Structure 1
Amino acid sequence: MAQKNGFEQEKNVDLSRKKLKALPENILGDTSVVQLDLDRNKLKTLVGIEKLRNLRCLILSKNEFSVFPQEISLLQNLEKLYLNQNKLQVIPEGIFNQLHHLKLLKLSLNRLQDLPGDLGQCSKLQYINVSHNLLKEIPVSFLELRNLEELYLEDNKLQKLPPKLFENKALQKFSAARNPLSEPPDEICAGGLKQIRSYFSQISTSEADYIKRVKTMFLGCSMAGKSTLCRSLKQQQAVAVELKDRTIGIEITETQVKDFRFHFWDFAGQEEYYLTHHVFITPQALVILVINLASYQIEEPDSFKKDVAFWINNILMRVPDSVVLPVGTHVDKCSSLEVMMAKKEDIEKRIQQMMKKMKENIQLRMENFSEKNDAELFFDQSNKLNSLMDCDLQVLDLVLIDCTNIKEIKRLQNRILEIVQNKEIFPSIEKKLPYLYKMVESTITDLLIRKEIPEHGIVPLGELLDKINENGGFKKLIEDDLKDILRYLHRIGIIMWYEEISTLAKTIFVKPSFLITLFKLIVRHDLVEQLEKIPKAVLVRERALEKDVHKWIRQYRSNAILDHKAVSALVKHLLQQVSSDGEDDILEEITGNRGQKGKLFNLLEHFEICLAMKPHTSLNPNATVFHPGRRWDYMDCHSNGAYLFPSNLRNAISMGIWKNDKEDDIRVLVYFLPEVPQGFFARLIIRTCSLFSPHWVGFQTCLVVSNSVELLIKEKHEEDQFMEIRCRRPRVTDLRFTWDLILAIIFKLKKLSEQWPGLYYSIRSPCRTKNCHEDFPWPDQDGLSDYMDMAEGEVSTCSEGHRNETELLFPKAERCRRRRTKEAWSPNVYNINATGNISIGTNNTIDVKDQNFDS
């Protein structure tokens, strides 16, 4: 507390999580209160708040306000107002014109469609957050706020941003992600404030183009007819695709239909490729879900689950605002018209039932939270469920098609045109772009046609800039402008540029098809066959023999390990087939050398598809090749190591170290809705293994050890899909350290889950009494300090009356409770930073940095 005028103390009062329905009288009579925290209560009104005439900060987040409390207008000294995560729909005029000192306003996660005009009279406002609302236009009042420094507008219904907003030089931070924007396109807004200002500057000084571009993704099981459909639509004729020509990985093509440019992304349907789908599936695309109607069986529930439900769930979790057009193929192979129509009716009915059941499950979980006595502790989880209820996933009516009939191909094309022209389905299909963007894209295309760019399309940024300036025929382009345009072209899939990877920041993949071909080298269903096809001449150059190939195949089949020499040989063989330009130089650039990792594996590791196994003599000089069931450490298969692909493991790890589960193990269960995303667990394993050197990896299992504490992670597919984190019951002195390990995995899981915005997960600790199926849900956690302070009381009793030691159910902080600030705990074994990464600390203690996950 600070002294006011030398004699009166200013008070910061914390009444959060007190289940308050009205303001306490004893607080209302205290004029020395300058900050009042009422977070997570049950307030609907603020009767009497005007008595706190010196109040400067008022926190009302996560309450039950549906009507804006007008008493706030009387708090004329107010500087900070938090009303996020309530149920506000309207804010009346006459409130903000009284708040002349207001600097911060947080209204995110409400139901606001507009803001009052008098907000513009808050001349000192520096920060506004109205994310996750229903705004369709930028309020005019925002344009009057000349001191506004930060503005957050994510997840609204905005289609245009006014140029005048960005003339405000005070504005330093801005985000409008996940809006259906056309001016500027959302792909440009994702580049940040600087790129938005550059966009409007170019629009104001030159011509602009209106482009209708549609990313169209073909998904579905193997042999459903995706490639046939994709190629037939592109070529405007019935195209038969032989079995040997089926898609490997992803194929990209482009076609023009009327004034629409379609980018077709044909995703292979074999399970081996699912792990890479998340890399390329993006929002605001048309998803064509291809279903083999001939093989679909009404009487087999697994048929719908495999052919339809799996794909819809994964689309929902990854891009919840997608538009999905189911297309039934192979109708010519159905036994009769009646059978075909019965299958169509069954699929559409099951889709409706599936979506309805999902909503019912969400509603049930929300009701479970609301009925709890401590419902305010689960506000964030309830809010996440509420957002899933509002998800905009649209599954259209199933279209039946005979891909051998050109009339039906054209009928499908017309249906696709109807969909993309529908403003209610695609409100921002037409994007306004500066003329310079079109010119740079055209110049890159011309350079490829004239073969002034190598066939593999890998070009240094500086070299690409020089070539564009030499051939573009327009005013000299500066590097910053080129970067803005490349960011846009990357986000729409024309080129690939991974500037967030430091080793690739100066490299442009002008040909995404070649980059995807590199992915195909490794992530493919017939990798063993490809290894067998490596020519002897390539093996000689790699200093390898036929017996080495047999060894590589054995390693891959049994242990999902691929030797670095095998990768190098595969790349050499590929380059001989697709490129004649500087093969040796590009080979080293792609695969790397002893001193540097290659670009291919920078990408594979960035997308968490594999785990590098490097030489690490200080860890275990006698480390052997990994085998399921044996200890695996970083080792040196050859001078450049090898790579583990957890998603390809098919054998469970031997329980020789873990042996068997024990009744007194500490257990934490993480439940997923609607299901565990494909590839999620494999990526979590890769993140986990980057933390702990001693580990054992297997199919749906991972065991790590730290300071003799064993931690097992298992993925389970039962009626409810979940992951289990299990540790041996530690000694009292090791309890804190055990929970630290569990929390390290949970934070990795939490960060990973952000890539699936349509995914909900909840954490529970099961009752420790044998044969009891009750559990204890974990409340919301705003940061690590909340996680580490969950255990309250010595005993917790489940609904069946069983008593449990609380500290074995929830993490428990040390007795000297840390305040929720950026200060650290006393040092311990690991440092957990804001991204969930852990590094070795000192003195065998933990230094845990606070993380704020508040909305």
Structure 2
Amino acid sequence: MTNDRTFPKFRFSFDEGRSLEEEDTSVPCYQNQTPRPTHMKPLHAAVIKGDQRRVSQLVQEGEDVDGRCECKLPDLKRAHEFTPLHCAAAVGDLGVIDLLVAAGAQVDSEDEVGCSPLHRAVWYNKFDVVQALLAKYGANKNKKNLEGYTPLHLAAKAGHLEILNVLLKTGVNLDIVDKVGRTATDHAKENGHLDVVKLLEECSSKQDASSYGYDKTVRLTDHSLSRIPDDVLEKEEVEDLFLSRNRLSVLPSNFTRLGCLTKLYLDNNCLSAFPSELFALSELEELSLADNNIDNLPEQISVLRKMKTLLVFGNLLHSLPNSIGSLSLLESFDAHRNCLKELPTSFAQLQNLKHLYLSHNQFEEVPDVALNVGNSLQVLEVAMNKLRRLPEAIDRLKVIERIDAGENKIATVPKTLCNLSRLQWLSVMDNCIQELPDTFGQLASSLKYLSTTNNPLVQPPYEVCQQGVQAILEYQKELERCKAVVQPKMKMVLLGSPFAGKTSLCHALMEEKSRLTKEKDRTHCMDVKLWQADRELQLEVYDFGGHKVYDFVHQFFLSPLAMNVLTVDLERYQPAEFERMVGKWAKALNAHTPGAVIRVVGTHVDRCSPKDVRLKCEDICDQLHRDKKKQDQIIQDQMKTIEDVISDSSVIDVDHPLHGVTRERMLKRYHKLRAMLQSQPKLQWCVAPVSSADPLKGIEDLKKELVSLALNKDVFPALRRVLPETWVNLEQRLLAERKKSTLWLAWEEVETLGRETGLSPDRLHPAVAYLHKRGVVLHFHDIPDLNNVVFHNPARLTDILKQLYHHDTDTMIRNIGSLKVDHIQQRQLQEDLLRSGLMSVDTLHHLLHGMKHPPNNMDIVVKLLERFGICYPVPMSGAGSIARAYRTESCSMYQFTWFLSADMPGDVHDKWLPVCPEVQDQLTVLCVMRGFTPWGLYERFCAQIDPHIGNRLDWANGILASFGDFPLHVTRDVNKENNASITMATRFPTGSADEAWEGLLKVYGVLRSLLKEWPGLPYTFWIGCCHCLKKEDATRAQPHYFPGDLLRQRRPLGIQSLRCRRCSASETVDIRLVYPPSVTEPSKQSAADAESAFSTNGEQATCINNTFNIDIEGSSNIQIGTGNEIQSKVSKAGKE
């Protein structure tokens, strides 16, 4: 029987992707929270360093041993708030732990995501610490974090077998489930830890037998059952029954015999009604009917009076019965993804309710009855409804810890929210909030996570809110000390092709007179000017150089809060030139800054006839519109593909682009695509024709339009941001410093400016951080070599880039030629730069002397260039060093990938054969970008992968390098449709796939990180089929590609090979050449481990649409779904 869910049900399911994190959430790290500067307390710093003497001293001086502060631990993307004991547990220092506990540290204290020190010790595999915390200090072995994970869940998830044994010996509860109903065994299965699965199942069996003499827990999850086995229905003593993810449409009448059930999971089945058989289960405490087709809960539900957890999310409920109030012991109720508009009045009787999940329903206001359980409610989730406000009485939720009200239409936040002294987690992302209460900062004492993303915030400004609640507190404190000032100032960007008239247009707008730019005075890279466009408006005008050599620099200065003026020379414009003169710029803005405001301006109309102006303007608009429709269609097609797969329960064909991709991964992709579709550029579908020559035709109208557009509160609500006067004054002082010749200011100099404006050093960081977010200054607080300087004029940094990335290469070469070297070394310097991108620090220093005010500290310059991914250091020694020809150790060498222009060296074909040799295997990851090639992406990628590779040989469109014992081959290609692709591949002896994946995934991770800077760019990753790449026609025929989503999924249990449709039915691909290993997965699994995926004790294993090599001897009750190909080994008896 198939699950014939309706499309409305499917529609609800897509927003599951909203809360899914890209990184491991077992020890949660919320990516929406912007990292703040990490200033560790002395005790935390001493603990992390393992300085027991210092720890002892600080403890004796009275340092708070339970105090939390932000610390950066390994494998976390950002700093988290930890106690000293959490830090000691993570680094594994038993001596420090003894000191802290002796001083009164709480053994079961929580960090900001609810993890105890034991959680951290387990996750970081600190065996001795786990033993000590359990045996010596009595840590709570069953404690849950915010995700519902116990230490056992984490040990199973990570595959830490030794620690798992320690936990099991303490009698830890094996049946505890996390927030979504998964046990430790489920986590071990999902992550491919077969030895852990085997141990847990053995332990569970022994535990049940020794404790009860019979099974009290039955798990039949993912067994494709359309009926419950009779032997299960005969186990009247069973207490926990898991039947999730099957095909059950009804329960049998004799199900009522299971009267001892306390826990029942029936989620992800085909139930269309609440099973009446459940009314006989009076002992039931935990029930999941999630993800079915149930449209009604009956009044008789009141008989389940012992119910503590009720999960009915993902159904078709329009209302709840009034009798639900009789479930007086209910602690957790999850009804998200339904069609609810209100709660019954009896809901207020649920005085033990702790967790209430109502996201993605039809609520127009937070139900008042939900506030009546304020003495117990800890979690309230009402995201993705139709809320227009949060209630004034929200402070009735006295013990609330988590509120998710994101993706609504909320315009105001009540001041009473600030009274929630226990609130730790708050999301109001994707709403219409312009102002937060002036007491919002007081939540900093408890609030650990805040998301205000995608709100038109004015007070505090968006840039302050991005930094979190502590920054909001500092901002509001500063407003209390000084006057509030409205600063109507914004950025305007002029961009377009060379000679499009950008600089002349800038002069005409600012000076109201014609000052045409001569070719010799054209903009090199970028110029910045201040324009007082109106009494109420100051614009910071960025005039970008149009030559393509400057393209990659521009991305660092684009902003979502800027007005973008795209200029096109109408005299030169022809329809065939649209892509070069208009299209690429519009696509770049959309890809880098989704939702950008763009105004297209046609210049040089004085040189065109009125008819030509009209026809060319119409053509530009038509082609822009066609481009937008084409881009929308690309996104909509991908969304439709996902919709079809999830709404259709049939098997996915091997050739399908989503074959093998999990539902969770599909939802993530769908959510991202939908966000891209909703964040299209704000583009006026007409061209403003102007002339910068006398008599300035159209200039006055354009000026009025730009000012009106900037002052439009609906388009630029953040323009009227409210700031402390001290911050505004500091900005003015820093702007005044731009008149001087220096490229940066020392932090001590900034402190002096701060004092002059009334900002003491301890209040300076928030102001500078705000100005950094706005792009007024650059301050890299997280880079040791750059954190003591402030780049007070970011545009001046382009002076450095002008000298390096000059559109006139001959001039730059002449500058190198002026070095005081002989003609042989001069020629070598020039060739090495143009062919290999090599440049010494001495050469760089010499080039920068061409600046009007050259920098005096080359270390800072080089670190800045490295920070932007423009260059990387090259080792001077070693057999693989491309800098060895310089024969000097005294001068550092750097490679600037932008200058690589040489063709592929001839010997590359000898080192990387066109077809993979038969004795080797090949891993290939391909990234395809649609419609636009991001500026400088490939060059920055080449620079940033350098720490992961060695012995590299670079050319214009490729790299041949190595990581460890394996080669790395990288190539770039751009097809006729301007779709760019980057291919990363490695080869290795057969059987070494897991080791090869380790290096390739690092390179892949660098590319993924860079692509995040282009959130509006459609791109797809693919995994090349190794079998196809080893065929003789591999250079001519395109290989089969598996979906790149598999790179972020765990290998399926028990499967050894996959089928590729490009190959014959008898040919398969080793699964290790498609799925990477998990982080902690052993590189080789024993046959016993592989067999443990298939039940030998009466359970089933179901797999669909794959090819298997399995040994079925000794296995029973194996179910192989449709679309598979079985290649079974011959048993000892000689039978297949």
1:262 CA displacement: 0.5
Q: Whole-Å Cα distance in 2 between the matches of residues 694 and 789 of structure 1?
A: 35
Q: Whole-Å Cα distance in 2 between the matches of residues 801 and 62 of structure 1?
A: 48
What corresponds to 1:391 in structure 2?
679
What corresponds to 2:610 in structure 1?
337
What corresponds to 2:961 in structure 1?
704
1:136 CA displacement: 2.9
Pick aligned residue for 2:495 from 219, 222, 225: 219
Contact residue 211 and residue 430 of structure 1 kept, 8 A:
yes
Which range is displaced more, 310-319 or 368-377?
368-377
AA of the residue aligned to 2:793: K
Judged with a 3 Å threshold, the aligned counterparts in structure 2 of structure 1 residues 694 and 380 are, in CA distance, closer, same or farther, namely same
Pick aligned residue for 1:152 from 411, 416, 427: 427
AA of the residue aligned to 2:487: I
1:403 aligns with 2:692: yes
Deviation per residue, 1:568-596 (Å, 9 max, x gap): 1122342xx337xxxxxx52x1x1xxxxx
1:279 aligns with 2:556: yes
Judged with a 3 Å threshold, the aligned counterparts in structure 2 of structure 1 residues 812 and 217 are, in CA distance, closer, same or farther, namely closer
Query: Aligned ranges for residues 171-250 of structure 1 at < 5 Å?
Result: 171-250=447-526
What corresponds to 2:833 in structure 1?
556
Query: SS where residue 436 of structure 2 aligns?
Result: coil
What corresponds to 1:811 in structure 2?
1075
Q: Whole-Å Cα distance in 2 between the matches of residues 42 and 797 of structure 1?
A: 34
Deviation per residue, 1:68-92 (Å, 9 max, x gap): 79699698766556677x5766565
TM-score, normalised relative to structure 2: 0.62
Deviation per residue, 1:658-701 (Å, 9 max, x gap): 13144974433333344342222222222222211132322332
Query: SS where residue 692 of structure 2 aligns?
Result: coil
1:283 CA displacement: 1.4
Query: Aligned ranges for residues 120-159 of structure 1 at < 5 Å?
Result: 120-138=395-413, 142-159=417-434
Query: Aligned ranges for residues 491-640 of structure 1 at < 5 Å?
Result: 491-533=773-815, 539-540=819-820, 544-545=821-822, 547-574=824-851, 577-578=852-853, 586-587=855-856, 589=857, 591=858, 598-615=859-876, 617=877, 620-621=878-879, 623-625=881-883, 639-640=890-891
Deviation per residue, 1:446-479 (Å, 9 max, x gap): 5566xxxx5224221112322553xx3x54x311
Contact residue 561 and residue 645 of structure 1 kept, 8 A:
yes
1:502 CA displacement: 1.9
Contact residue 534 and residue 570 of structure 1 kept, 8 A:
yes
Q: Whole-Å Cα distance in 1 between the matches of residues 866 and 828 of structure 2?
A: 24
Contact residue 791 and residue 811 of structure 1 kept, 8 A:
no
Contact residue 10 and residue 33 of structure 1 kept, 8 A:
no
AA of the residue aligned to 1:738: A
Contact residue 776 and residue 798 of structure 1 kept, 8 A:
no
Which range is displaced more, 216-225 or 432-441?
432-441
Q: Whole-Å Cα distance in 1 between the matches of residues 289 and 790 of structure 2?
A: 50
Query: Aligned ranges for residues 770-849 of structure 1 at < 5 Å?
Result: 771=1037, 775-779=1041-1045, 786-787=1049-1050, 792=1055, 794-796=1057-1059, 798=1061, 804-805=1068-1069, 807=1071, 810-813=1074-1077, 824-825=1080-1081
Judged with a 3 Å threshold, the aligned counterparts in structure 2 of structure 1 residues 77 and 524 are, in CA distance, closer, same or farther, namely farther
What corresponds to 1:632 in structure 2?
none
1:806 CA displacement: 5.5
What corresponds to 1:835 in structure 2?
none
1:746 aligns with 2:1019: no
Q: Whole-Å Cα distance in 2 between the matches of residues 380 and 734 of structure 1?
A: 31
AA of the residue aligned to 2:628: M
1:208 CA displacement: 1.5
Query: SS where residue 733 of structure 1 aligns?
Result: coil
Indicate the RMSD between aligned Cα atoms, in angstroms. Answer: 3.9
Q: Whole-Å Cα distance in 1 between the matches of residues 952 and 743 of structure 2?
A: 39
What corresponds to 2:745 in structure 1?
459
Query: SS where residue 718 of structure 2 aligns?
Result: coil
Judged with a 3 Å threshold, the aligned counterparts in structure 2 of structure 1 residues 3 and 545 are, in CA distance, closer, same or farther, namely closer
1:360 aligns with 2:638: no
Judged with a 3 Å threshold, the aligned counterparts in structure 2 of structure 1 residues 190 and 2 are, in CA distance, closer, same or farther, namely closer
* Greater Rg by CA: 2
Judged with a 3 Å threshold, the aligned counterparts in structure 2 of structure 1 residues 702 and 294 are, in CA distance, closer, same or farther, namely same
Judged with a 3 Å threshold, the aligned counterparts in structure 2 of structure 1 residues 666 and 482 are, in CA distance, closer, same or farther, namely closer
What corresponds to 1:166 in structure 2?
441
1:756 CA displacement: 1.9
Q: Whole-Å Cα distance in 1 between the matches of residues 394 and 809 of structure 2?
A: 61
What corresponds to 1:645 in structure 2?
896
Deviation per residue, 1:240-286 (Å, 9 max, x gap): 11111111111111010222001001111111111222211111100
Contact residue 335 and residue 357 of structure 2 kept, 8 A:
no
Judged with a 3 Å threshold, the aligned counterparts in structure 2 of structure 1 residues 263 and 650 are, in CA distance, closer, same or farther, namely same
1:566 CA displacement: 0.9
Contact residue 287 and residue 324 of structure 1 kept, 8 A:
yes
Query: SS where residue 257 of structure 1 aligns?
Result: strand
Judged with a 3 Å threshold, the aligned counterparts in structure 2 of structure 1 residues 97 and 21 are, in CA distance, closer, same or farther, namely farther
1:53 aligns with 2:307: yes
Pick aligned residue for 1:305 from 559, 575, 579: 579
Judged with a 3 Å threshold, the aligned counterparts in structure 2 of structure 1 residues 7 and 827 are, in CA distance, closer, same or farther, namely closer
Query: Aligned ranges for residues 627-776 of structure 1 at < 5 Å?
Result: 639-654=890-905, 655-656=908-909, 657-662=911-916, 665-718=922-975, 719=977, 721=979, 723-727=981-985, 730-765=988-1023, 771=1037, 775-776=1041-1042
1:197 CA displacement: 1.4
Where is the strand percentage greater, Structure 1 or Structure 2?
1
Deviation per residue, 1:379-438 (Å, 9 max, x gap): 100111111111142111211111113343222211111211222222232111111122
1:337 CA displacement: 1.8
Q: Whole-Å Cα distance in 2 between the matches of residues 419 and 213 of structure 1?
A: 13
1:198 CA displacement: 2.1
AA of the residue aligned to 2:783: I
Judged with a 3 Å threshold, the aligned counterparts in structure 2 of structure 1 residues 96 and 318 are, in CA distance, closer, same or farther, namely farther
Q: Whole-Å Cα distance in 2 between the matches of residues 710 and 230 of structure 1?
A: 51
Q: Whole-Å Cα distance in 2 between the matches of residues 650 and 232 of structure 1?
A: 39
Deviation per residue, 1:145-180 (Å, 9 max, x gap): 221123233443321111122223322443424432
1:204 CA displacement: 3.0
1:33 CA displacement: 6.8
Q: Whole-Å Cα distance in 1 between the matches of residues 516 and 809 of structure 2?
A: 25
Which range is displaced more, 526-535 or 489-498?
526-535
AA of the residue aligned to 1:762: T
Q: Whole-Å Cα distance in 1 between the matches of residues 282 and 898 of structure 2?
A: 61
Contact residue 669 and residue 722 of structure 1 kept, 8 A:
no
Q: Whole-Å Cα distance in 1 between the matches of residues 638 and 882 of structure 2?
A: 48
Contact residue 791 and residue 812 of structure 1 kept, 8 A:
no
Which range is displaced more, 761-770 or 513-522?
761-770
In the alignment of these two chains, the number of paired residues is 770
Q: Whole-Å Cα distance in 1 between the matches of residues 729 and 1081 of structure 2?
A: 55
Q: Whole-Å Cα distance in 1 between the matches of residues 393 and 1052 of structure 2?
A: 42
Contact residue 456 and residue 514 of structure 1 kept, 8 A:
no
TM-score, normalised relative to structure 1: 0.80
Judged with a 3 Å threshold, the aligned counterparts in structure 2 of structure 1 residues 728 and 532 are, in CA distance, closer, same or farther, namely closer
What corresponds to 1:381 in structure 2?
669
Contact residue 152 and residue 175 of structure 1 kept, 8 A:
yes
Judged with a 3 Å threshold, the aligned counterparts in structure 2 of structure 1 residues 179 and 491 are, in CA distance, closer, same or farther, namely same
Judged with a 3 Å threshold, the aligned counterparts in structure 2 of structure 1 residues 45 and 507 are, in CA distance, closer, same or farther, namely farther
1:66 CA displacement: 5.1
